[in-house]
Amino acid sequence: MKTVDAKLNQTPGCIQAALEIIGDKWTGLLLRELTECPKTFGELEEILIGISPRTLSQRLTKLENENITKKTIYCQHPPRYRYSLTEKGSDLKSVLSSMAKWGAKYS
């Protein structure tokens, strides 16, 4: 346990930096959905009951700017996109899995 504590104490800035990217409301659930397969804006809006289109758009834009997600056009007129995880985003799968296990145990 001391090794884990020592590592955590050496990286407080790293934890804060990660939370600034993925700590916003809805972001964890959005990432969870994209771990399964690419999805359209409409699919995400339907799955994430209660999220406003504006919030969903903001979260997707932030994640894309951080190179965690990418959008791929699948229809030219009107432009329609599918959202998926990048390699950087896929690296979050184990983090999300650990968070889900912790949540199941303590909620």
Enumerate domains of the chain plus CATH numbers: 2-95 (1.10.10.10)
Region 52-77: mean pLDDT is: 97
The share of the chain scoring above pLDDT 90, in percent, equals: 80
φ, ψ dihedrals at 67, nearest 5°: 60, 35
**pLDDT at residue number 2:** 56
Q: pLDDT tens-digit profile of 41-50?
A: 999 999 999 9
Residues 6+ apart with CB under 8 A from 42: none
Which residues in 85-99 are b (16+ Cβ under 10 Å) and which e?
beeebeebeeebeee
**pLDDT at residue number 51:** 98
Neighbours of 1 (CB within 10 A): 5
